[in-house]
């Protein structure tokens, strides 16, 4: 893969998905996002229940592109579990963010989720200010269902709640 200042310049031809390991969790915990996306920084706090997390890597060289999580680990405080709906969260490495590749990453995650889990619907939440994240989800056929407000860090945070029907879909891209 060609590089520019140590960063990959094109999207990997194939992605590989595997359960997250403790070293992967430590890597993700130390990713740093700039600007308003800094709210997604984990500040060195690795996920505690990595059994609900999966990594997404470039199949060719193993570069960690991102991760996804499911179930309770993907829900924000106060968002209740709903029977028949799988909660999904994901994050891309800061090296890949902001380069117009979110839809490709999301399609790869949805393909993996379809193969790993039996669910008719998938729910994702995105902070309401994050228009870029919401746009990625809507281009992947997620539909806005509601908003949810919870308290995080002593202040209210508003989320858009989006759901995607996984039934009768032959293609994710």
Residue 1 lies in a domain: no
Residue 6 lies in a domain: no
How many domains does one find in the chain?
1
Residue 3 lies in a domain: no
CATH of residue 29: 3.40.630.30
Residue 172 lies in a domain: no
Q: What is the pLDDT of residues 38-76, one digit of tens each?
A: 888 888 888 888 999 999 999 999 999 999 999 999 998
State mean pLDDT over 124-146: 95
Query: What is the DSSP-derived secondary structure letter of residue 83?
Result: T
Residue 155 lies in a domain: yes
pLDDT at position 117: 94
Residue 124 lies in a domain: yes
Closest alpha carbon to 24 in 58, 73, 57: 57
Q: Distance (Å, rounded) from C-alpha 107 to C-alpha 132?
A: 15
Q: Distance (Å, rounded) from C-alpha 167 to C-alpha 173?
A: 15
Residue 170 lies in a domain: no
Residue 2 lies in a domain: no
pLDDT band at 9 (very low <50, low <70, confident <90, very high): low
The model's pTM is: 0.88
Q: What is the pLDDT of residues 75-114, one digit of tens each?
A: 988 899 999 999 999 999 999 988 889 999 999 999 999 9
Residue 134's domain comprises 12-165
pLDDT at position 2: 35
Q: Distance (Å, rounded) from C-alpha 121 to C-alpha 86?
A: 6
pLDDT band at 168 (very low <50, low <70, confident <90, very high): low
SS3 content of the chain, % helix, strand, coil (to 5): 25, 35, 40
pLDDT at position 5: 44
């Amino acid at each position: 893969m060609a590089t520019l200042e140590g960063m990959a310049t094109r999207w990997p031809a194939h992605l590989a998905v595997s359960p997250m390991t403790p070293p992967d969790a430590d890597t993700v915990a130390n990713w740093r996002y700039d600007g308003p996306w800094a709210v997604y920084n984990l500040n060195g706090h690795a996920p505690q229940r990595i059994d609900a997390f999966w990594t997404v890597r470039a199949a060719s060289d193993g570069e960690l592109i991102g991760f996804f999580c499911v179930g309770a680990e993907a829900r924000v405080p106060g968002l209740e579990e709903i029977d028949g709906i799988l909660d999904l969260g994901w994050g891309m490495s800061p090296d890949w963010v902001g380069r117009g590749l979110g839809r490709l990453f999301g399609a790869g995650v949805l393909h993996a989720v379809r193969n790993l889990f039996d669910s008719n619907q998938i729910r994702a939440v995105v902070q309401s200010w994050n228009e870029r994240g919401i746009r990625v989800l809507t281009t992947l056929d997620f539909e806005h269902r509601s908003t949810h407000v919870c308290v995080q860090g002593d202040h209210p945070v508003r989320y858009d709640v989006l759901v995607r029907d996984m039934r009768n879909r032959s293609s994710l891209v």
